[in-house]
Amino acid sequence: MCGIAGILQRRGTVELGALERMAEGLRHRGPDDRGIERIDAVGLAHTRLSIIDLAGGHQPLMTPERDLSLVANGEIYNYVELREALEREHGVRFATGSDSETILHAYAVHGLAALEHLHGMFAFALYDRRRGRLILARDRLGIKPLYYAVAGDRLAFASEIKALLPALPRSPALAPGAVMQFLQSQFSAGADTALEGVHRVLPGEAIVVDSELNLEHHRYWSPLDVQPSPMSEAQATEAFDGLFDRVMREHVRSDVPYGAFLSGGVDSGTLVGCLTRFQEGPVRTFSVGYAGADERGELAEAERIARRFGTRHRPLRLDRERIFRRIPHMIWSADELMRDYACLPTALLAEAAGRELKVVFTGEGGDEMFAGYGRYRPARATALL
């Protein structure tokens, strides 16, 4: 997890102090390094959590001519394959081993179409000096956050809203429409946040901003574009096995050790079983439970799976007071309205794992991908009628 922020002005040089304050607001996202650059009327800031190319991944990244500048958060999982293709087919020479540098050179070769080649979780800002434009882009599923606001003669962006505020002339008011949507549906979707004038870059979207702060929205991917497959269940199962293996091999590319959250469910248990095939030595796993709860629950099941795969397992048992004490910090961390109470134990578990590791795998997304929640069943039943 890194943090990115920046400002594009119609004219003049971006104030260094504003960039420093924005970067300071993201220090918790990137404690390993900080970088700030000002190019023309653009300022870019980055705070880094080092995962790949620990020594050479300083950002902002720039081409030798300084015509392209980049700050990025996240990871490009297929960067090795993209890098090899760019070197072989276009003669690109890389200056670092960073996966983020792949974004820079892929854009130089393919323009905005480079986004279609990126597999990963990412949010980035890229300044194209020759074309006089700033590009804000987010991964297909919106795993990594990116916010922006236009105020007067400047556009500001950041990984978190709290880091955006130092670039605004005043504190934004609440946006009644977004608040009403949250109260009705218990989540906030779309481009509008609960703060007036503060917007999200949407999942699968790139926003191109010119020197006059005109915005063009490009949707490069949508789940609605994915067409149903004619393959049988047996064919789909076989194809998934191969895909899952390939994806996991891409995900474990790292210059630091990794572990996994283990809940005792199918999702995280499958991940742990797969990780044991790729890592030398035991995988470190972490589980959370509650003091006084039935020990035959998920915590006991997680420990059984840990024994099965020979992991170095660390259970964490929480009491009510410890969870309640975490609420103010979670409100600060969330930036937006939210109702996912699971964030409280997850944050405490992440804190415990963070004392040993920078990277952990989780089972998040499995139920959404494979319709594991009960709310998906009525739609399936309707389709069968």
Annotation marks residue 274 as catalytic: no
> What contacts 361, CB < 8 A, 6 or more positions away?
251, 258, 259, 260, 261, 268, 271, 272, 275
**Burial track 59-85 (b if 16+ CB lie within 10 A, e otherwise):** bbbbbeeeebbbbbbbbbbbbeebbeb
- From the list 15, 58, 31, 61, the residue with the least C-alpha distance to 156 is 15
**Is-contact 119 75, C-beta < 8 A?**
no
Residue written as token pair 């087919």: 89
**Is-contact 143 121, C-beta < 8 A?**
yes
Residue written as token pair 């970088």: 35
- The span from the CA of 73 to the CA of 5, in Å, is 10
- The span from the CA of 127 to the CA of 43, in Å, is 9
Instruction: Choose the catalytic residue: 2, 42, 76, 82.
Output: 2
Active-site residue list: 2
